Amino acid sequence: MVDVYGVSSGISAIALLMLLGGVLSIVLMVVLIVLAVRYLNRTNSHTHDPWPAQPAASAPAAPTRPEPLEILRDRFARGELTLDQFEDAKHALGYSSGPASPPPGPGTTPTV
């Protein structure tokens, strides 16, 4: 529709093309972002880790073994060892016969 001065009051073809170009550029940006995210997820899927910068989970701690003296005490308490056998085994492991002496630690020589 053209008014008295020769100016169109409706949407011209140029304005329609500009509007369509803007919408298409937004759609193109969204498609590119989606494709980039899918590509990055696919390349990192072999690590089973969603983010490569995260530290790996630590391995579970190995189960601790009871001290030899604890095993001897348990066996003596169950009646599997006599007092003489208990004292001989304790002495063979490097523990002194006194009740208050601590067991030898790593890197130390047992007291006899």
Whether the model pTM is above 0.85: no
Name the more confident of 5 and 19: 19
Rounded to whole angstroms, the Cα distance separating 102 from 60 reads: 29
Looking at residue 100, its pLDDT comes to 47
Looking at residue 62, its pLDDT comes to 76
Residue with tokens 């009646």: 79
pLDDT digits (tens, 9 = 90+) for 51-75: 555 556 677 777 788 888 899 999 9
Q: How confident is the model at residue 32 (pLDDT cuts 50, 70, 90)?
A: very high
Rounded to whole angstroms, the Cα distance separating 96 from 94 reads: 6
Domain boundaries along the sequence of the chain? 13-47, 65-105
How many Cβ atoms sit within 10 Å of the Cβ of residue 26?
10
Name the more confident of 52 and 100: 52
